[in-house]
Structure 1
Amino acid sequence: MKVLITGRSGQLTRELQIALPADVEQVVLGSAELNLADPEAIRQQVRAIRPDLILNPAAYTAVDLAESEVEQAMAINARAPGVLAEEAAALGIPLIHYSTDYVFDGQKAGAYLETDATAPLNVYGRSKLAGEQAIRAVGGQHLILRTSWVYAGHGRNFLLTMQRLLQEKPHMKVVADQIGAPTWAGTLASTTAALIQHWRQGQAGPWGTYHLTCQGHTSWFGFAEAIAAHLQAEGKPNATLEPISAASWPTPATRPLNSRLDCQRLQADWQVELPAWETALQLCLAQQ
């Protein structure tokens, strides 16, 4: 089986390359080979490669910068997924696309269901929602997997930033009133591999939109505390942490206060198990 994967340098792409079984031929295209802002280039590449499955982890993910780079965010996050969906449908193959908790406004008291109304607060969220809508408009076999707070032991993410700053600074302020599920890219990749395996074995669940995060929830402050505890256990320098409100740490893009996603539907429909966020974090840290 031949799989086309977008986004060569992305943290999820790197984990997917590890998680996919050895009998899968991987065609990984970075921005140098595939300009996702160019619909015609996308079409030409997909038609030339003729994959059996498309995975689209590539995205414009600079949440704050997107507020001033609206066109670029929309081109990559909104229009490109629609083009990939059109080409996948033309080939009669599935598309697996990754979306975000930022399609919601964070005002709900509990965890968000796939059926809850979307209301993104920022350009990034609007662009990702538009990408979802473009895929659904095409139809065909697709999975839209919404996730949250993705990190890995490589790339640029909260885990690596905190590991560095906690050892450089004596004191740090971290937002404590935004709640979500830190999700290791390795968990996303291994779960994706399981979904693909079910499909290949003729045991696919219904296609559509699902939530996929590690289980449980915490705040950014709680996530930072867990990272700090690991550093402390290793005898490394450690800043003191101070919880603050999101309102006292303004950013160009407004972020939802509640990013919790209910993943029960994916687990039931596709028979996959998702680890607790603390367990996944320890697995990630063990690989560093």
Structure 2
Amino acid sequence: MSHYPAAGTWTSCPACGRHVHQSQWGHWQQCPYCHYWQRLTATDRVAQLVDSGTFMPLKTTAKSHNQLNFPNYDEKLEQAERKTGEAEAVTTGWATIGSWPVMLMVMDSHFMMGTLNTSVTRRMIKAMQAARQRAVPVVIVTASGGARMQEGLYALVGMNLILAEVARLAAAKLPLITVLTDPTMGGVSASFAFKGDVIVAEAGATIGFAGARVIQQTMPTTLPVAFQSAERLLEHGQLDAVVVRPELRSYLINVLASYQQLGRPDHG
């Protein structure tokens, strides 16, 4: 019998490096020593945000294809599916949050860093179209490194296609709430992440376009402390709020209730 702990019993905190037992991370997946928030899977995020038992996945046949014959892309997709149990980097579906109906889209950084590609684009567009048909608010939880390099221009086109659908939501006067989590970078931050009527970020999230290391190597320059942090973006007026994970569901409930009480203003 082995004296070593079972695999996965202890993990090293990405922020402070301390060894943390799986039981110490707790329900909210926070380091007990430095209070770093672990990145959640789409399944975990849905479970924390929606009313129990109300999430109904939106049926879709959208599937990634190696259109550019990019080396090893097919193998990476298979690995990501095995790792996450998901078919793509976004999960979409109907749900209620505090009894308010929503169309929920949750990106998953565990699936190829939540990158935007043709399949993710089609899934998000279909979800927003369904939301317009039922006239319900849309909540997008972002967690992405940007556009998927293996699909090149095909992935970048998705930015504009999603923005076009966001414009149709605005024309229909349906609220769009974007929840920016760690990380929200690249083409996602440059497009729909900041197009919500309400833009809220999870505490501790890194949000930006190019990474800090790339910026430092390109300019070169010395970046401010906590550069690209949710808290710093709030200070500069780019967010409506920064909310800690245990309070995020309550925040969304209040926002959804406010829209019902005050009407449905146009997108800003």
TM range (shorter): 0.3 to 0.5
Report which structure shows greater RCO (CA 8 Å, sep ≥6). Answer: 1
TM-score, length-scaled by structure 1 = 0.36
TM-score, length-scaled by structure 2 = 0.38
